[in-house]
Structure 1
Amino acid sequence: MSNPARRSPSESPTAKQRRVWDRSAPSYDRQIAFLERVQFAGGREWLGDRVRGRVLEVAIGTGRNLPYYPADATLTGVELSPAMLDIARRRAAELGRAVDLREGDAERLPFASASFDTVVCALSLCSIPHPAQAIDEMKRVLVPGGRLLLLDHVASTWPPVRAAQWLLERVTVRVAGEYFTRRQLPLVRAAGFTIVEAERLKAGTVERVHAVKSA
């Protein structure tokens, strides 16, 4: 009998991500909680403070951003992993939040153009196979003047830390498709967004980006 957690020789990068996150889903909240307190502290609050109107969260995962969104926001989430999405549905129900949660690929968002006022992506572009394509899709579904809000770990500004990240990637890219030396800000600029805010924290390893789609 085949092992569903084992990669097949013909497995695509997207299928690999679905497999990895389906397998990680039961333990994800427990594993990320420490990093959120130490590495990404305040990041989810930062995102929630800036969303407006019709909000799409790309790669919503287990829905850990849901408690931080304002009550008047209309929420939609898309997630590649069915197992992660199941947890997000339970979290939304526990919070009493109405959220349209759908299974889908960040690189091919299942929404019409100009459907959202805000797009959020947190701690996910580090592992999406083609991040530039995902950012282009985020731009497509935003209205003119819409907000793009990103939170992610990126290549450090300190060479010794960046070298350690590069070494770590030798394992994480192969096993989970996760990168530590990527940086999303140049991709956001290349996609034609206007940068409103960009800040780096924790020796430059964490970046928050607030950009708008040109009218």
Structure 2
Amino acid sequence: MQPHDASVRSREVWDRLAGRYDRDIRFLEAKLFTGGREWVCSRAAGDVLEVAVGTGRNLDFYPGDVRLTGLELSPAMLAVARRRAAGLGRPIALHEGDAQALPYRDASFDTVVCVLSLCAITDAGVALAEMRRVLRPGGRLLLLDHVAGTRAAVRAVQWLAERVTLPLQGEHLTRRTLPMVRAAGFDVVEQERLKAGIVQRIHARKPAG
């Protein structure tokens, strides 16, 4: 399947950013997302698919007994992830592909992880439906992202910033992820809102029935 036009543009953007991504994200992780990767990865189990694996920044935090697969739209980001995995001695099957058309069979994974990436996927609803499709019944969905804040003043600032981030790199700042997760047919197990509601952690499950 050919990637969507928007996905092609997104791939070009993240290819350009790949060389400096780790340096740029480090500050935001320290200020906004502290402990988020650990929270998500500690809940992963079994056969794990990380959608939008990026440069592999989660690899340090997964339990040792999980079996990892990573999907990434950007070849340049994927190359960094391969180097990181090799340096850590962490086995992972890495593939290039689009989160909106996952190249995996139905019910292939026990856990799907997506960290700081759903915000930059053009159609997050389609991506969540794909994540649900590839999960086994009872499988876990684990998300960390920035979302629309809980305060009106914060949302106003986010809306203004989005006027820049959307055309620049397709990044949404005012999405409300939790309703989308529920609309995709997941049962929410736990969720946390932090930093004036800007940061959200979600643990959900695909119904077993």
Matched, 1:114 2:90: no
Q: What is the aligned partner in structure 1 of residue 206 from structure 2?
A: 213
Query: Superposition pairs for residues 61-100 of structure 1, below 5 Å?
Result: 61-100=54-93
**1:78-123 deviation digits (Å, cap 9, x = unpaired):** 0000000000000000000110000000000010000000000000
How many Å separate the matches in 2 of 1:191 and 1:164? 28
SS in 1 for 2:121: coil
The match for 2:161 among 148, 155, 168 is: 168
SS in 1 for 2:34: coil
**1:128-153 deviation digits (Å, cap 9, x = unpaired):** 00000000000000000000000000
Query: Superposition pairs for residues 153-192 of structure 1, below 5 Å?
Result: 153-192=146-185
What count of residue pairs does the alignment treat as equivalent? 205
SS in 2 for 1:41: coil
Residue 42 of structure 1: how far off its partner (Å): 0.3
How many Å separate the matches in 2 of 1:110 and 1:85? 16
5+ long unaligned stretches in structure 2: none
How many Å separate the matches in 2 of 1:138 and 1:72? 22
**1:144-172 deviation digits (Å, cap 9, x = unpaired):** 00000000000000111110000000111
Residue 58 of structure 1: how far off its partner (Å): 0.1
Residue 188 of structure 1: how far off its partner (Å): 0.7
Could you say what the CA RMSD is over the residues aligned between the two structures, in angstroms? 0.8
Q: Write the letter of the residue equivalent to 2:78.
A: L
Query: Superposition pairs for residues 31-70 of structure 1, below 5 Å?
Result: 31-70=24-63
Matched, 1:152 2:145: yes
The match for 1:201 among 170, 191, 194 is: 194
Q: What is the aligned partner in structure 1 of residue 125 from structure 2?
A: 132
The match for 2:97 among 84, 93, 104 is: 104
The match for 1:30 among 7, 23, 40 is: 23
The match for 2:8 among 5, 15, 20 is: 15
How many Å separate the matches in 1 of 2:167 and 2:90? 37
Percent identity, please: 63
Q: What is the aligned partner in structure 2 of residue 7 from structure 1?
A: none
Runs ≥4 in structure 1, deviation > 4 angstroms?
A: none
How many Å separate the matches in 1 of 2:10 and 2:179? 23
How many Å separate the matches in 2 of 1:42 and 1:169? 25
How many Å separate the matches in 1 of 2:95 and 2:186? 26
